[in-house]
Amino acid sequence: MLDALQRPVHDLRISVTDRCNFRCVYCMPKHIFGPNYSFLKRSQLLSYEEIERVARIFVNHGVRKLRLTGGEPLVRKDIELLIEKLSAIDGVQDLSLTTNGSLLTLDKAEKLRASGLRRITISLDSLDGDTFKSMNGVDFAPEPILQAIDTAAAVGLAPVKVNMVVKRGVNDNAVQSAAEYFRGTGHIIRFIEYMDVGNSNRWQREQVISAAEIRDIIGRKFPIEPASPDYHGEVAQRWRYRDGSGEIGIIASVSQPFCSTCTRARLSADGLLYTCLFANTGHDLRAPLRAGTTDEELATTIRQIWSARTDRYSELRASQTIEIPKIEMSYIGG
Ligand code: SAM
Ligand code: SF4
Ligand code: SF4
C-alpha cells in the first residue's frame, strides 16, 4: 500500500491515552494542561478490541512495527492485555512501547515482557535532578527512571532506548553527561531535536540544538563515527563510539527532515487516523468501528486515506509562513 509519494506504510503508532502524570515543558506545559484541561473520556477511547482490529488491518497492508505511546501509556489500565492481543497478530515483527518510565516497576516490566512486548523506549531528559524536575514539571527525580531503565533491561526488554529531547538553554549542558552515563551499558541513548509539535510549547527555531551540535558536544569528549542504519527509513541516525563502547542515536527531525522515507501512520486514543505527526486533522475510524462496518469496508477506508497521503511537513517547515493549528504530541503520540 503506497501513498501519493510512493511511501509504503510500515509502522503504526498507537496512542492509548492522552493523559500523563508528567507535565514536560515541551509537550504538556502546566499552564495549558492544568486541572481544568479536558481530557478524553473513557467512552471516547478505543477499547483494546477496537485497537486490535485496526492494527490487524494495518498489518494486512504491510505494517510490521507497532509502537504503543501516548500520553503516558502506562497510565492506561492493564496495558499488557492490549500487548497480548497485538503480539498475537501474525506478521508483527516489532512491538514496542514508549514511556516516561515513572510507573515501570519490576512487576509491571515483567508483565509487559510476558505479554509479548519486545522493546521499550524510556524518556529521560537529564541526569541532573534540578534540570529533570523542571523539565518534567512535576518534580520527579531522575533516579527512579534510571532504575526503570535497568529493570527493563533485566527482564529482557533490551537494548533499552533512552529518549532525550534537547532544548537550548534548558538541558543542552546535560548532553555529554548523559552520553557518558549510558556509554558501555548496552542502553542506547537517542538525542532528539526539539520539535514544533502542537502549539502549546510555543516552539522557536532558536531553541533547537541541531544534530550537528549534538555530535560535536559528544565527539569532543568521546570520538564517534557513523554506523549504517538498521533498516530503510530509520528515524535515528546511528553513531558508534570508536572505542567500541556502544552506540547513540540522533533524531534530526528539524535540521535534516526525513519525510521522503516516512512510513508511519498514527492512531489517536479516540480512534482518529493521522498520516503525519504535524497533521491538523485526522480521519475518524471509531465511528465506522462502532457502526458495525466490516473489516473489508474499514480496509477500503484505510487504503483510500493512505493512498491520498502527501504529508511532508518537516521538509516544508522552513517555507511555512502561517502558523497552522496542530495536534498536540500528548494526544497523537510521539
Ligand atoms: N509519555 C511517554 C514518554 O514521554 O516517553 C510517551 C509519549 S511522548 C509524547 C513520546 C516521546 O516524544 C518522548 O520521548 C518525548 O520526549 C518526545 N517528545 C514530546 N514532545 C516533543 C517535542 N516537542 N519535540 C521532540 N520530542 C518530543
Ligand atoms: Fe507526558 Fe511523555 Fe509528554 Fe512528557 S513527553 S508530558 S511524559 S506524554
Ligand atoms: Fe513523517 Fe510528517 Fe514527520 Fe515528515 S513531518 S517525517 S511526513 S510524520
* Residue to probe by mutation, ligand 3, list 6, 232, 255, 259, most atoms within 8 Å of CB: 259
pLDDT tens by residue, 114-157? 999 999 999 999 999 999 999 999 999 999 999 999 999 999 99
Q: Is the pLDDT of residue 89 over 60?
A: yes
Q: Is the pLDDT of residue 307 over 60?
A: yes
**CA proximity to 62, closest of 332, 316, 303, 315:** 303
Helix extents (H) in 68-171? 79-87, 106-114, 129-136, 143-154
Q: DSSP string covering 146-210, please?
A: HHHHHHHHHTT--SPEEEEEEBTTTTGGGHHHHHHHHTTSS-EEEEEE----SSTT---GGGBPP
Q: Which residues pair with 248 in a beta bridge?
A: 189, 239
pLDDT for res 23: 98
Region 175-186 average pLDDT: 97
Range with the poorest average pLDDT among 2-6, 44-48, 85-89, 310-314: 310-314
Compute the distance between CA of residue 167 and CA of residue 170 in angstroms, rounded to an integer.
5
* Residue to probe by mutation, ligand 1, list 11, 14, 18, 27, most atoms within 8 Å of CB: 27
The structural domain count of the chain equals 1
Region 69-86 average pLDDT: 98
Write out residues with Cβ below 6 Å of ligand 3: 257-259, 262, 264, 276-278, 311-314
- Cβ atoms of 237 and 265 within 8 Å: the answer is no
pLDDT for res 280: 87
39 is a domain residue: yes
In the structure, how many helices (H) and strands (E) does the chain have? 11, 12
Which ligand does the CA of 9 lie closest to?
3
179 is a domain residue: yes
Q: Is the pLDDT of residue 92 over 90?
A: yes
pLDDT for res 232: 75
325 is a domain residue: yes
From the CB of 192, is ligand 1 less than 6 Å away?
yes
pLDDT for res 227: 95
**CA proximity to 80, closest of 52, 59, 108, 44:** 108
Q: Is the pLDDT of residue 184 over 70?
A: yes
> What is the CA(71)–ligand 2 centre distance, in A?
6
> What is the CA(291)–ligand 2 centre distance, in A?
33
28 is a domain residue: yes
> With bands split at pLDDT 50, 70 and 90, how would you rate the model's confidence at 323?
low
pLDDT for res 199: 87
> What is the CA(69)–ligand 2 centre distance, in A?
10
Which amino acid would we find at residue 152? Answer: A
Mean of pLDDT over the chain: 95
Which ligand does the CA of 135 lie closest to?
2
Range with the poorest average pLDDT among 198-202, 204-208, 275-279: 198-202
> What is the CA(198)–ligand 2 centre distance, in A?
13
Q: Which domain holds residue 164?
A: 11-332
Compute the distance between CA of residue 55 and CA of residue 144 in angstroms, rounded to an integer.
32
Q: Which stretch of DSSP H or E encloses residue 212?
A: helix 211-221
160 is a domain residue: yes
Q: Is the pLDDT of residue 200 over 80?
A: yes
> What is the CA(67)–ligand 3 centre distance, in A?
16
Could you say which DSSP state residue 46 is in? P
How many percent of the chain have pLDDT more than 70?
A: 99
- Cβ atoms of 173 and 199 within 8 Å: the answer is no
**CA proximity to 332, closest of 171, 135, 199:** 199
Q: Is the pLDDT of residue 189 over 90?
A: yes
Give the nearest ligand 1 atom to 163 CA.
14
State phi, psi for 192 to the nearest 5 degrees: -115, 130
Region 214-238 average pLDDT: 91
Region 73-86 average pLDDT: 98
Q: Is the pLDDT of residue 104 over 90?
A: yes
Cell of 314: 518537516
For residue 107, how many C-alpha atoms fall within 13 Å in the half-sphere facing its CB? 2
Which ligand does the CA of 258 lie closest to?
3
Q: Is the pLDDT of residue 321 over 60?
A: no
> What is the CA(329)–ligand 1 centre distance, in A?
7
Region 234-252 average pLDDT: 95
From the CB of 72, is ligand 1 less than 6 Å away?
yes
Q: Which stretch of DSSP H or E encloses residue 177?
A: helix 175-182
153 is a domain residue: yes
Q: What is the dihedral of CA 257, 262, 267, 272, to 10 degrees?
A: 80
Using DSSP bridges, classify how beta strands 272-274 and 119-123 pair: parallel, antiparallel or unpaired.
Answer: unpaired
pLDDT for res 134: 97
1 is a domain residue: no
Give the nearest ligand 1 atom to 122 CA.
5
Which ligand does the CA of 97 lie closest to?
1
4 is a domain residue: no
CATH number, domain at 28? 3.20.20.70
Residue 217: strand, helix, or coil: helix
> What is the CA(27)–ligand 1 centre distance, in A?
7
> What is the CA(92)–ligand 2 centre distance, in A?
26
- What is the model's pTM? 0.97
pLDDT tens by residue, 19-74? 999 999 999 999 999 999 999 999 999 999 999 999 999 999 999 999 999 999 99
Compute the distance between CA of residue 140 and CA of residue 148 in angstroms, rounded to an integer.
13
> With bands split at pLDDT 50, 70 and 90, how would you rate the model's confidence at 162?
very high
Q: Is the pLDDT of residue 247 over 70?
A: yes
Using DSSP bridges, classify how beta strands 161-166 and 119-123 pair: parallel, antiparallel or unpaired.
Answer: parallel
